Amino acid sequence: MHIAICDDNIADRKQLERLLKRESDKRAAVSGILYTDSFGNAEALLANPMQYDAFYIDVCQTEGVSGSDIVSALTAKGVNAPIVMCCSHINYREYTLPSNVIFLDKPIKVAELSASIDHAQQILEAAEPLIELREDKNTFYVREPDILYAVEEGRLVSVTLKDGRTVCVNTTAVNLFSQIESFPSFLSPSLKTIINCRYIEKLGFFKAVMIDGKVFRIHRDCMEYAKSAFAQYHGR
């Protein structure tokens, strides 16, 4: 597990580093090593948060930024990994935070830290997988239900999201489908198109009409799967 610590109290941060190192030594032979990166400010953490499997956060000495603000920023970036809020001067239990947030009191007790790691592992294992969509300058992390369809246009694949946004990915439809075909809702009805079958409005003679009216031709070899998926999501 790759863990990020973000704590603006240097003494607390160093203490947590030591405790996690000891916990890693205990778990190494059973569940694997705990790798830890430590940050004293939110800006450094938020530069590349998707690489982490879990977060330990307590920011209460930095003007204008609190731990709950960091949770909001992580969530906005697509993070659904477990976030452990370490309660010291601020009792984060009083805030409305996402379901992937765990609470841990300071001063941190070894047994409670160990329990928080076990809890984080459970959240991590149950988390919905994210799909990475990489543009030239931006990277988006979305869930399977967020994607409506994708169309290869020249050297890019235009991915239309359910909220109306379009992400232009520098790849081919074949390569993109190879990354997401483990999700049974996705179908590639041709070499240059991908559709999410949960959003088929109508299924006709070798064509699918999506909920936004977009029409896709479906190769005859794909019709049986399209019918099965349509029946699964629409009950008919």
Number of separate helices (H) and strands (E) present in the chain: 6, 15
pLDDT, average across residues 173-183: 96
The domain boundary residue, chosen from 100, 126, 152: 126
Residues 11 and 122 in one domain: yes
Give me the CATH number covering residue 157.
2.40.50.1020
| % the chain with pLDDT above 90 | 88
Residues 112 and 170 in one domain: no
The domain boundary residue, chosen from 85, 102, 126: 126
Residues 192 and 174 in one domain: yes
Distance (Å, whole) CA 22 – CA 43? 28
Work out whether strand 166-169 and strand 156-161 pair parallel, antiparallel, or are unpaired: antiparallel
Q: What is the largest CA-CA distance in the chain?
A: 67
What does the DSSP 8-state code read for residue 102?
A: E
- pLDDT above 80 (res 236): no
Question: For residue 127, what pLDDT is reported?
Answer: 87
Distance (Å, whole) CA 117 – CA 25? 14
Residues 98 and 145 in one domain: no
180-190: pLDDT as tens digits: 999 999 999 99
Q: pTM score, two decimals?
A: 0.78
The domain boundary residue, chosen from 126, 142, 168: 126
45-94: pLDDT as tens digits: 999 999 999 999 999 988 999 999 999 999 998 899 999 999 999 999 99
Tell me the residue type at 18. Answer: R
Distance (Å, whole) CA 236 – CA 231? 4
Residues 70 and 156 in one domain: no
Residues 7 and 116 in one domain: yes
Residues 20 and 122 in one domain: yes
115-137: pLDDT as tens digits: 999 999 999 999 889 999 999 88
Burial (CB count within 10 angstroms: exposed 0-12, middle 13-18, buried 19+), residue 46: middle
Residues 138 and 217 in one domain: yes
Give the structural domain span for 31: 2-126
Residues 147 and 90 in one domain: no
9-20: pLDDT as tens digits: 999 999 999 999
Question: For residue 38, what pLDDT is reported?
Answer: 97
Distance of CA 211 to the CA centre of its chain: 25
Residues 69 and 177 in one domain: no
196-227: pLDDT as tens digits: 999 999 998 899 999 999 999 999 999 999 99
Give me the CATH number covering residue 95.
3.40.50.2300
Our count of domains for the chain comes to 2
Residues 121 and 13 in one domain: yes
Kind plus residue range of the DSSP H or E element containing 101: strand 101-105
Residues 106 and 146 in one domain: no
Question: For residue 31, what pLDDT is reported?
Answer: 82
Cβ contacts of residue 134 below 8 Å, gap of 6+?
140, 169, 170
